[in-house]
Amino acid sequence: MQDVLLRVENVSKDYHDGAVTTRVLSEVELQLFKGEQLAIVGSSGSGKSTLLHIMGTLDAPSSGRVLLLEEDLYRVSARRQSQIRNQELGFIYQFHHLLPEFTALENVAMPAFIQGRARQQALAEAGALLERVGLGHRMSHIPAELSGGERQRVAIARALINKPKLVLADEPTGNLDAVSGDAVYALIRELAEQLGTAFVVVTHDHKLASRMDRQVTMKDGKLQPLSGLVL
Ligand SMILES: Nc1ncnc2c1ncn2[C@@H]1O[C@H](COP(=O)(O)OP(=O)(O)OP(=O)(O)O)[C@@H](O)[C@H]1O
């Protein structure tokens, strides 16, 4: 039996607006295995990003639990939560969220600085990752001097620098052309295999989704299997 990395147990999420309550997630159940690559697809507004945020300690569920290696993400201290975000999780967003005043190299090194790694070591590791994503020649550029695809690769390198167990990616190929999208996919696959990182990828890109180990769809507030293992 494979080892479980993340368990989403009976998670519901409601948003309240005055007297109106909207249920976005309804008793969601999911198990993710170590090193597994999972795609979540589903129509716009179905709750995919909400679930991703809940998995990433960024938004508490209204009820239910999320366990990362049996640690309940919403019952630990705020300090432990930020440690988990920095050390166990990596995030890739469609709009990158790179720090505009820092170079590509510094952006990638930032999570390692925060973790307390020595500056020179962090920069060396960031440089090696940038080489691997094909940006060895762009290390000293700031985000405004990079293309969309290049920024996305910087964001991927940044998500991986602390060797997280799980990377959460929201539309990682969303604003890329097909060639750059393929390169991002190839990179995810290669790094996942080399580092044993698990990926949860929310995407409308069916080509990307079909290349993941497993696909699930979000519908009526629940996850339903598309193929591969049933939950
Ligand atoms: N803070 C909030 N307050 C109220 N409603 C919200 C909030 N955040 C999200 N929602 C609602 O929850 C629903 C799910 O949003 P979510 O962003 O998770 O969908 P999604 O499946 O990721 O959509 P898309 O594919 O368009 O990105 C939407 O109807 C949205 O309007």
Rg, the chain, Cα only: 18
pLDDT for the residue 230: 41
How many other CB atoms sit within 10 Å of the CB of residue 52?
A: 20
Calculate how far, in angstroms, residue 47's C-alpha sits from the geometric centre of ligand 1.
5
Would you say the pTM of this structure is higher than 0.80? yes
Per-residue pLDDT band for 227 (boundaries 50, 70, 90) equals low
Residue closest via CA to ligand 1's atom 10 equals 15
Give the model confidence (pLDDT) of 9-26 as tens digits. 999 999 998 989 999 999
Calculate how far, in angstroms, residue 69's C-alpha sits from the geometric centre of ligand 1.
27
Of 12, 13, 15, 95, which is best to mutate to test ligand 1, by the most ligand atoms within 8 angstroms of its C-beta?
15
Calculate how far, in angstroms, residue 41's C-alpha sits from the geometric centre of ligand 1.
14
Q: Which residues of 183-211 are buried (b: 16+ CB within 10 A; e: fewer)?
A: bbbebbeebbeeeebbbbbbbebeebbeb
Calculate how far, in angstroms, residue 219's C-alpha sits from the geometric centre of ligand 1.
13
Q: What is the DSSP string of the chain?
A: -PPEEEEEEEEEEEEEETTEEEEEEEEEEEEEETT-EEEEEE-TTSSHHHHHHHHTTSS--SEEEEEETTEETTTS-HHHHHHHHHHTEEEE-TT----TTS-HHHHHHHHHHHHT--HHHHHHHHHHHHHHTT-GGGTT--GGGS-HHHHHHHHHHHHHTT--SEEEEESTTTT--HHHHHHHHHHHHHHHHHH--EEEEE-S-HHHHHTSSEEEEEETTEEEEEESS--
Pocket of ligand 1 (CB under 6 A): 15, 24, 42, 44-50
Residue 167 CA, distance from chain mean position = 4
Of 46, 51, 173, which is best to mutate to test ligand 1, by the most ligand atoms within 8 angstroms of its C-beta?
46
Give the model confidence (pLDDT) of 56-86 as tens digits. 999 999 999 999 999 999 999 999 999 999 9
Q: Judge residue 31's burial from the number of C-beta atoms within 10 Å of its C-beta, 0-12 exposed, 13-18 middle, 19 or more buried.
A: middle
Angle between helices 148-160 and 104-115 (to 10 degrees): 20
Residue closest via CA to ligand 1's atom 30 equals 45
Interface predicted TM-score of the whole assembly (ipTM), two decimals: 0.94
pLDDT for the residue 2: 67
Calculate how far, in angstroms, residue 11's C-alpha sits from the geometric centre of ligand 1.
16
Q: Which domains, ranges and CATH numbers included, belong to the chain? A: 1-88+166-175+195-231 (3.40.50.300)
**Which comes out higher in pLDDT, residue 18 or 2?**
18
